[in-house]
Chain A
Amino acid sequence: MSRRLPPFEGFLEANRTTVFRYLTAAVGPIDADDVFQETFLAALRAYPRCTEADRLDRWILRIASRKAIDHHRGVARRPIPVAAPPERPTEVDPGANGFGPAVAAVRDLPARQRDAVAYRHILGFTVADTASLMGCSEEAVRASAYQGLRKLKEQELKERAIWTND
């Protein structure tokens, strides 16, 4: 370990906003709090054995990414107990409450595209940082982010069409 671990309290304060932003995109604003709990509980359990004291910001985002994947698997397994599912789950209005209009659709992207878009375009990380965080090449980051953004755009056009056809 190159550096000593700071008190968990300081680590939590330093990273809570970034993790919350990431999760707001990756699992949606309603579930962000629950997955935030899972993320930091896992981090607290593992903390004394953590060997990445010099890059704790990356360490916690990798845990958050895994917890987001677990969350999506859990949601996928859960049966949907409605006869006629609504067009879209009724949720917070994505345009209000400080969220950009495309944020709510990020969580529906495949995992790699979701992370590439969240790290690059929501958290504003460089391609190099995103690649190191995701453990892949910079080309792969560019490709995933591009595909993700294209899907968000298509989704947006589709929704606009639904509204204007009304």
Chain B
Amino acid sequence: MDERLTISTHEADRGSAQAADRFRAVAGDKGLVDVAVGTVGSPVGELLVAVTARGLAAISFEGEDRDRVLDRLARELSPRVLMAARPTDDVRRELDEYFRGARRRFDLRLDRRLMSPFAKDVLGATARVPFGRLATYGEIAGRIGRPRAARAVGAALGANPIPIVVPCHRVIGAGGNLTGYGGGLPRKELLLRLEGSLPSE
């Protein structure tokens, strides 16, 4: 009797993958997803973007462990985290425009819940460094009234949950050295070239 009751694993996997995709779309449209996660292709690799009702909460770079990214979103925002493209459409559109040189400033609402109070100050000051300009870690420290905290500023920038849109890549060392970047120095260089702050190759 048992083999007469089999459902092939392949069949169930294929059918359930389609059903799950339909579910993701419906759940997003019904507003049941607290953290919608989508992917955005870019010259610095595929980005994972996370959007809540408050706005854009996180961007992570290709190569970061996707499960760990989703785990953190579930832990710190809500367990109702789902891959749902539609709620991330605005973010995708603005990033696309930025990467093809048609946008210099993002108009996205931000969800800052993944930032500590200190990081909120640091990243707030960083967000005011315009496209095509640079600031040093010390300058950012000075602008938030903590002139001796350049090192802590560097750490807060390194942990920026919303890179690119909060432009931590525009903050460099006092000697003009790029110093470091959460997504790796090659990405920082590429972003600064794109903005004309470094000579293009």
Contacts and interface: CB of A to CB of B under 8 A. Distances in A.
A90 interface: no
B9 interface: yes
Given A16-B20, A48-B78, A24 B71 contact: no
B12 A21 contact: yes
Contacts of B27: 40-41, 44
Category for how many chain B residues contact A? 35 or more
Given A24-B12, A48-B78, A149-B1, A7 B19 contact: no
B74 interface: yes
Interface in B10-60: 10-13, 15-20, 22-24, 26-27, 30, 32-33, 35, 37
Interface in A103-129: 103, 106, 117, 121-122
A8 B79 contact: yes
A102 interface: yes
A105 to B, nearest CB: 10
B30 A4 contact: no
A101 B2 CA distance: 10
Interface stretch (A30-38, A81-89, A132-140): A30-38
Interface of A is mostly: helix
Given A98-B7, A100-B6, A102-B5, A16 B79 contact: no
Contact of A47 (B5, B18, B79): B79
Given A32-B15, A44-B80, A7 B1 contact: no
Given A24-B15, A45-B32, A100 B82 contact: no
A66 interface: no
B128 interface: no
Contacts of B8: 98-99
Contacts of B33: 8, 44
Nearest to B2: A121
Contacts of A122: 5-7
Contacts of A106: 5
A103 B7 contact: yes
A98 to B, nearest CB: 3
Interface string B145-165: 000000000000000000000
Nearest to A50: B79
A102 B4 contact: yes
Interface of A: 4-10, 12-13, 16-17, 19-21, 24-25, 29, 32-33, 36-37, 40-41, 44-45, 47-48, 97-103, 106, 117, 121-122, 149, 152-153, 156
18 contacts: A8-B33, A9-B81, A12-B20, A16-B20, A17-B9, A24-B12, A25-B5, A41-B26, A47-B80, A48-B78, A48-B79, A98-B7, A98-B8, A100-B6, A103-B6, A122-B6, A122-B7, A153-B1
Given A7-B79, A41-B30, A103-B5, 12 more contacts: A5-B79, A8-B81, A16-B16, A17-B9, A20-B15, A29-B15, A36-B23, A44-B82, A99-B6, A121-B1, A149-B1, A152-B4
Name the 9 nearest CB pairs between A and B, nearest first: A98-B8, A98-B11, A20-B16, A7-B81, A7-B74, A5-B79, A102-B4, A16-B16, A7-B70
